[in-house]
Structure 1
Amino acid sequence: MRYGRVFLVGFMCSGKSTVGKLLAEELGWKFVDVDEEVVRREGLSIPEIFEKKGEGYFRELELGLLKELAEKEGVVISTGGGLGANPKAMGFMKDKGLVVWLRVSYEEFLRRCGDDPNRPLLRRGEKELRKLMEEREKVYSLAELWIEESSSPKDAVRSIKEKLRGEG
């Protein structure tokens, strides 16, 4: 295999954790969700981190954890929506492994996310959320492999495995 790690990027509710867990299981690799690991280490939910320590603090934690995880081999890493949209993080991930963008439309994002209370960015209005998504997509689009929302998680895993084997 050309890569020792896979980074999944995409907007909120794009399926990064679902696809990541399936991929890791099929490859026999470890799966790490950056958001879940930050919550575990901080002992606070993401909304609590945003409220008590600020979004900037959270973003720094994410980036530090990404750099730590990227030193491991045989790992599938699900990034938070903001981390994958950070140009510095994107460059770093591309140097360290395969970056996969799980693309979703705005409508599909709303259908999947609904009113999830654990997503502080959902408190923003529709216009602001659409703008955020468009801005983030400029960086997500730098990923080596794009997977469309119409793909099932199993199809997404198959496409990623083909790319890992050098077939895609």
Structure 2
Amino acid sequence: MSHVDRIFLIGPMGAGKSTIGRRLAEQLGLSFVDLDAALEARTGVDIPRIFDIEGEAGFRRREADLLAELTEQPRICLATGGGAVLNETSQLNLSARGVVIYLRARVDTQLARTRQSDRPLLQGNDPRGRLEALLTERGPIYEALADITIDTEDGNPDRLARLLAERVQDTGLTDNG
């Protein structure tokens, strides 16, 4: 199966997957889908509520099921949640079905970008420690899955989307039309 028209964005929370993904999809003429937003639309409740009711395990099951479905859609730029890569089947679906782009961000950047959020994994007294632990756990998975890696530190989503569009086209991994 060809995967030239599917782009999957992975990386930690606050890396810019949704913001950059929207612009990248526009540049490449793809539909943009945010996995978390799609999950909220499907369930009718927000992510924190899913965590409250079903715990992280229940959330991850729902996330993996929806990711399996969405990674089969043509002409899509999919922004995944930071932990979507923890599921082995999801890892296989991402790597086999499209171009995987790792948006990398330092913990300081993540903290600044997520400080006003209600993200379940950041609730508690030590969000910095939590982000560091998550990056230690997930960073090697992001690196291993990525076809393209880019740092998002400068925070200019338009410039980063243009750069990624060029890199995707230069790799020959997409046909853009």
Mark yes or no: TM-score above 0.5: yes
Root mean square deviation, CA, Å: 1.9
Amino acid of the structure 2 residue aligned with 1:54: G
Amino acid of the structure 2 residue aligned with 1:134: T
Check conservation: 2:121, 2:130, Cα contact below 8 A.
Answer: no
SS at match of 1:24: helix
Deviation digits for residues 76-124 of structure 1, max 9, x if unmatched?
A: 000000003444322321110100011000001001110412x011114
- Runs (4 or more) in structure 1 with deviation over 6 Å come to none
Cα distance, 1:154 vs. partner?
2.1
Aligned to 2:175: none
SS at match of 1:101: strand
Q: Distance in 2 between matches of 1:2 and 1:89?
A: 15
Aligned to 2:160: 156
Q: Distance in 2 between matches of 1:121 and 1:146?
A: 24
Cα distance, 1:54 vs. partner?
1.5
Q: Distance in 1 between matches of 2:75 and 2:15?
A: 23
Name the % identity.
37
Q: Distance in 2 between matches of 1:144 and 1:12?
A: 19
SS at match of 2:170: coil
Cα distance, 1:61 vs. partner?
1.0
Q: Distance in 1 between matches of 2:46 and 2:171?
A: 40
Please give the TM-score of this superposition, normalised by the length of structure 1. Answer: 0.91
Which consecutive residues of structure 1, in runs of 5 or more, have no partner in the other structure? Answer: none
Q: Distance in 2 between matches of 1:39 and 1:95?
A: 26
Aligned to 1:56: 57
Aligned to 2:132: 130
Number of equivalenced pairs: 167
Cα distance, 1:53 vs. partner?
1.5
SS at match of 2:77: strand
Instruction: Provide closer, same or farther for how the CA distance between residues 95 and 69 of structure 1 changes in structure 2, counting only shifts above 3 A.
Output: same
Aligned to 1:71: 72
Relative to structure 2, which stretch is displaced further, 40-49 or 150-159? 150-159
Q: Distance in 1 between matches of 2:3 and 2:47?
A: 34
Instruction: Provide closer, same or farther for how the CA distance between residues 161 and 88 of structure 1 changes in structure 2, counting only shifts above 3 A.
Output: same
Q: Distance in 1 between matches of 2:57 and 2:69?
A: 19
